[in-house]
Amino acid sequence: MSILNKTKSKQIVSTICLLFFLISCKNPLKPGAYNNKSIKIDSTIVPDSAIDAQIRPFRQKLDAIMNRQIGYTKVAFTKTEGESLLGNFVADAIQQKAQKLTSAKVDMGAVNNGGLRSPLPKGKITVGHVFELMPFENELVLVELSGKQMKEYFNYQIGKKLHISNTKVKAKGKYLSEAYINGNPLDTNQTYTIAMSDYMASSEPAFIKAVKQTKLNLKLRDLLIQYFEEHTALKDTIQPTISGRLIIE
């Protein structure tokens, strides 16, 4: 076949494809009927024995990891709209663990209420409980803020259910009235180092994305597991308290 004939053949095929495409667009296929039903997934469903046998070894390994006890609590750690045992516990753990990973002074730990996905029960605490509390892959970050930025940060976070450590904040309505860090009044001329998740450090307020940040290469979930294990090794039961860290008048 000559080059000319080959070219004509290609053109004919292309034309046919184009016509078919245009016709198809004008007459799109439509379903003739709909048929659906709800299938309830609960304990009444009988497991498939063959599939169950395949996944059983993996489930047993996972259960062994998740059911490992790492700590003990005398009361349940729950969260509320304001200051809570769970929020104070996590904020304290974040600050204390961050302090061990850096030579810089860590002035405050912070965690958002939405990041706390499940309470911790009274009694035995397992790895699985921490995974339920922190199911995300968030990592620990140090953020440096000036005193002026700290004031702006508190003003932004008031009413947004922020949990903090080593800090006491008072607000009138939506605005900051007093703030104490390390037991001292907030100094607008000082620089403060805050430990928080990388999620918080990349969200709001907008200016926080541009400040100096240092990643510590530790997931918050692993941080809490280590925190429990360290206290358990010292036979020290973790007992957070409500201490008036955030008061809104």
Q: What is the pLDDT of residue 27?
A: 59
The residue to which tokens 């729950």 are assigned: 78
Whole-number pLDDT of residue 13: 57
What's the CATH class of domain 62-248?
alpha beta
Low-confidence ranges of the chain (pLDDT < 50): 3-4
The count of C-alpha atoms lying within 13 angstroms of the C-alpha of 236, restricted to the half-sphere facing its C-beta, is 10
Spatial separation of the C-alpha atoms in residues 107 and 192, rounded to whole Å? 6
β-strand pairing of 139-146 with 191-197: antiparallel
CA distances from 195 to 88, 102, 129, 130, 182 (A): 14, 11, 23, 19, 14
pLDDT in the model for residue 75: 96
* Burial (CB count within 10 angstroms: exposed 0-12, middle 13-18, buried 19+), residue 18: exposed
- Given this model, what pLDDT does residue 192 score? 97
Write the CA distances from 82 to 3, 98, 172, 190, 201, integer angstroms.
80, 24, 15, 28, 21
Report strand pairing: 167-172 vs 246-248.
Answer: parallel
Q: What is the pLDDT of residue 91?
A: 97
Q: What is the pLDDT of residue 29?
A: 67
Best CA proximity match to 90, nearest among 235, 234, 244, 228:
228
Contacts 24+ apart (CB under 8 A), 62-67: 65/127, 66/126, 66/127, 66/128, 66/131, 67/126, 67/127, 67/128
Radius of gyration for the chain, computed over Cα atoms and rounded to the nearest angstrom:
28
Report the predicted TM-score, pTM, of the whole model to 2 decimal places.
0.80
Dihedrals φ, ψ of 17, to 5°?
-60, -40
Query: For position 4, what pLDDT does the model report?
Result: 46
